Amino acid sequence: MTSESAIRSKANRPKPTFFKAKSSKTPRSKVWPKLRKKDLGNLIPKRDGKVAPIVASWLLKTVGWCTVGEIPNIPQAVVLALPHTSNADGVYAIPSLLALDLKISIMGKHTLFKVPILSQLLQWIGIVPIDRSNQGSVLQASIDKFKTGEPLFLGLSPEGTRKYTESWKTGFYYLALGANVPILPVALDYNTKEVRFLELVYPTGAIEADLLQIYTQYRGIVPRHPERLSQPLQDINQSGFNN
């Protein structure tokens, strides 16, 4: 695609029209309760931090963000982080996790763990070593991590990019289905300045119906860059506001 045609393609891409302008005062959710460290059950993976939750809570309060929703008392889940349209998302998401003392792991190259000091740091962060040399084995290796029975919340971003995308990567779904664990959607809403833990979705094998159940929970969520919102979430917002 030439530069000229790429510009035309971007210009012709439908832009989300369902977002309202932000007011000077941040509107908070009236449905979702505020989520605190003390609300987490004994089965949920935790960091057992002492200082980090205090510092992170202060940082969130300083920037005007808060964490809302509910996390069921379960030891394992595939956690979805959406929408992901900016590097700034982590600025609010990471303190939210630290404030809750919640441990959400992400996948990383197993070779990084060969360095002792780096290995300890990666383990503290929550990186799960995965051998990516054989792409066909990544899904099974991830499933095997759950099969150990150890507490594990594995975080994934199904959009796979911070830019606009027409569809989601469905590896997260087949991972949850194969490991027999629920999917926990989490949203970053820049309109309400909330990191919002949504309702669990248990994969049934009927992927289209299950994905729709996930999409619907993101209706009305405002990302940092609305024009980069993935097409499935644009569609669910358009259908929601047109009804």
Domain ranges of the chain: 27-242
Instruction: Tell which phi-psi region holds residue 180, choosing left (phi > 0), alpha (psi between -120 and 50) or beta.
Output: left
Task: Kindly state the greatest CA–CA separation across the chain.
Answer: 56
pLDDT value at residue 32: 84
**What is residue 213's predicted lDDT score, i.e. its pLDDT?**
97
SS3 72: coil
pLDDT of residue 188: 95
In this structure, what are the phi and psi dihedrals at residue 136, rounded to the nearest 5 degrees?
-65, -20
Residue 160: predicted pLDDT:
80
182 preceded by a cis bond (ω within 30 of 0): no
Count of CA atoms in the C-beta half-sphere (13 A) of 13: 19
CA dist., res. 235 & res. 114, Å (int)? 44
pLDDT confidence of residue 112 = 59
**For the chain, which ranges sit under pLDDT 70?**
1-26, 29-30, 108-115, 117-136, 240-243
Answer positive or negative: Cα dihedral of 85, 47, 199, 67.
Answer: negative
CA pair distance 13, 15, nearest whole angstrom: 6
β-pair type (183-189, 194-197): antiparallel
